[in-house]
Structure 1
Amino acid sequence: MKNILYYPYINIPKNDWTVRTLLYYDNIGTIVPQEYIWEPEKSYDSFMWELVRMSLVTPINPIEVFANPWEVTKPFITQISEKKLSLEKAQSRFKESDKHTLINTQKFRTAKIHADKFDNEVFYSLENLGLAKRDDGNWYSVETKTADQLMKYTATLVGMKTNRIPTTDEMRPRFFSSRNFKYQRKRETILENLIPFPEQINLHKLLNFKENHSELLAALTNKVEKLVLDDQIKEGTDLFNENIRELVIRKGELTAKMNESQLGNIIFGTACGIIGAVKGISESQNLSGVLWGLPGFGNAIYSALKIENAEKIFDQSGMKYLALIDKKLR
């Protein structure tokens, strides 16, 4: 799949995971309440709002995805109601959370879920089961494990309906099925090695880069996913580490090739032609004193042309996409 569905939070974090994810997948979807879709500039944090405005992230209202929202989530309520022992433990944890509202521990913590993320009947049922209560505004406090299960359940259904892979930046088993957790953790390990990246990045440059190199991204995705889905190559083994090492080496070779001095002869001839043309124009406009007085002007053109000519290097391994990231974005 080329698209993913981020959960369990509304705002996507501003970190290196998000940058890698934006560069690897075509689009990120997020589960958001109707209120955020109506007034996005007032609802999202500044980073999330910029991602939405640039169409790098697509807000998805789960109520609109399902024709019968309550009927879809009803099996979830039925399941937790039938598991009596687990239900009693969850009810006990939720009661204790009211008595320890100032204690910041996982044991007594509750999760906040926006009322518009689900049909009202879901919260009504959870309140009756002693697992949720209405807070101020449009938010509910929900027993933590119940909230995790509800979000995972919903993300799975929304992902299937919208053809997206449910994922999150929090690599914890409780957010994934056991099979999906294995693959996602494997995928994250590969991408962390191939796309080490700082948190700060120009999103406009990132968007333009993806639009200009979609075919290269497809080649990279094919390469990575073959490794991810190969159950014979298990994460942490020597074979897995050797595969990653080979990819990193190939990426490094391409990056070096894009910078090697042998390109100079080809580029320098082109640069001279351009410089001559520009010099003629500048002289005719009496600008030569200013233009050619700039230190390193010829070197600047030479460097710019090296960047552009880097794209002509032939590669079918998928690593060219990563090499160009190093060349143009980092």
Structure 2
Amino acid sequence: MQRNLLYYPSIDIPHKEWLLSALLYADTVSTIVPYTSISDDRMPNDLRELYDQEIYKPVLIEKVLTDYQQEFGEFEQRFISATTSEEFKALSNKKLVDQPGFLFEQKLTMNIKYHLQQEHLIKGQGGLGIATDETVALLYMSFLAQYVAKVTENELVIPSTDLKKYEHIGFNLTKEKMPAFAILLDRVLPVPGPDATLEQVIQFKKDRKDELFQFRKYLSAIQEKIRKAETKEQLLEVLIDARESIEKGIHDLQKTMKDGGIKSVFTSFESLLKLESPKLFATLTAAGIVSTPVNPVVGVITGAIGIAGGMISSYMGSKREVDKADLSYLFKAQKAGIIHAG
């Protein structure tokens, strides 16, 4: 099954770092598009190029919103409930994102637009859509990404973004919550450096498909071992055992990128997953972040791999096919001082 990373909250992918990282660690990327065709003149040129390379898949949202009636109703109710919750009101008051938001008319449903009007959350209206608070727009686009992930068949769609505050807004504002855990790769994930070009990464992805898939297998194997752990000691044992394979995978991938002419750097990555075991959830919430150092460059310990647990909200949570799959990917922006991988 192919893995597709669905970027939100915007149509375009504004940060090159996210795009180049996502292209390495997924089969395809997507964004939610309010137009009826990829040939629309308003489509960004870089996405057209990726589409021609069969790497980008536009989600033409008008069709998706009308094809799945039951899931569509659940999506509407979850969003309406979230925007009337105490968590939402508290977050709006904090001004986590202090700038105006915008939602395209084609991405809205009639019920949600009416709800926003009733709650006085529409600040203005133009020919293409509505102006609202940025928190409202981010919450809606996150829920919309989760809706798309839930109804898409024959491939694994994972909502993804590049800012933690976006993920926080999208996964913490409904009353219905479920246990989850996050795998944290802190400053150890090899990604293309700032000098890498889109063309280089696309060619590298084609040439080194097997090596990239092998590294993804390392991460998947760790996830499955974590799920079977029940105590902090067992979690530490999983991480310590996994460190050797992760370091080998990092070193191999780093060398492969260097051989492909791509200068890489180490950045941070989080994968949010649904958690089934009550014992593991109790262990994680009591222990906090369980981590062990990782040595991405021989002789230099600069990063870590860790596990954290908590309660999140996710519209995807009841989709049987993704019960053991990633709910969200977060490629963090590269920080100053992160060492070069080669």
Q: TM-score range by the shorter chain?
A: 0.5 to 0.7
Q: Does 1:61 align with 2:30?
A: no
How far 1:21 sits from its partner (Å)? Answer: 1.3
Match of 2:106 in 1: 116
For 2:208, the equivalent position in structure 1 comes to 213
Opposite residue 248 of structure 1, the aligned amino acid is E
Distance 1:13 1:237, change over 3 A: farther
Pick closer, same or farther for the CA change 1:322–1:56 going to 2, 3 Å.
farther
Equivalent runs, 1:286-305 vs 2, <5 Å:
none
**Does residue 130 of structure 1 match 2:120?**
yes
- Residues 194, 248 of structure 1: 8 Å contact kept: no
Q: Is contact 1:70-1:121 (8 Å) kept?
A: no
Unaligned runs of 5+ in 1: 97-104, 253-318
Shift of 1:118: 2.8
Work out the CA distance in 2 between the residues paired with 1:160 and 1:152.
Answer: 12
Answer yes or no: is 1:170 the counterpart of 2:163. yes
Q: How many residues align?
A: 247
* Alignment check: 8 A CA contact 2:145 2:159 kept: yes
SS in 2 for 1:193: strand
Counterpart mapping for 1:45-60 below 5 A? 46-60=45-59
Aligned-partner residue type, residue 30 of structure 2: G
- Among all aligned residue pairs of Structure 1 and Structure 2, give the percentage whose two residues are the same amino acid: 19
Q: How many angstroms does 1:141 deviate by? A: 1.7
State the structure with bigger RCO (CA 8 A, min sep 6), 1 or 2: 2
Shift of 1:22: 0.8
TM-score (norm 2): 0.58
Deviation of 1:158 (Å): 0.4
Kindly provide the amino acid, as one letter, of the partner of residue 58 in structure 1: K
Do the aligned residues in 2 keep the contact of 1:8 with 1:168 (CA within 8 Å)?
yes
- Aligned equivalents of 1:200, 1:181: Cα separation in 2: 36
Residue 136 (structure 2) aligned to one of 122, 125, 146:
146
- SS where residue 21 of structure 1 aligns? helix
For the residues of structure 1 that align with 2:35 and 2:50, how far apart are their CA atoms? Answer: 18
- Seen in structure 2, the aligned counterparts of structure 1 residues 52 and 199 have a Cα distance that, compared at 3 Å, is farther
Shift of 1:26: 0.6
Alignment of 1:179-198 (within 5 A): 182-183=181-182, 186=183, 189=185, 192-198=187-193
Which region of structure 1 is more displaced relative to structure 2, 24-33 or 173-182?
173-182
The answer to whether the 8 Å contact 1:70/1:122 transfers is no
Q: When you count helix as a share of all residues, which structure comes out higher?
A: 1
In 2, Cα distance between equivalents of 1:180 and 1:155: 20
How far does residue 13 in structure 1 lie from its aligned partner after superposition? 2.6
Question: In the TM superposition, what is the alpha-carbon distance from 1:224 to its structure 2 partner?
Answer: 1.4
**Counting strand residues as a fraction of each chain, which structure ranks higher?**
2
Query: Deviation digits for residues 215-272 of structure 1, max 9, x if unmatched?
Result: 33222211112224524498x96964774465335643xxxxxxxxxxxxxxxxxxxx
Distance 1:129 1:148, change over 3 A: same
In structure 1, the residue matched to 2:257 is 325
Q: Which amino acid aligns with 1:140?
A: I
Which amino acid in structure 2 is aligned with residue 129 of structure 1? E
Deviations 1:50-106 (A, max 9, x none): 434433321111221243577654445545656896389859x6xx9xxxxxxxx54
Stretches of structure 2 that go unaligned for 5 or more consecutive residues are: 264-342
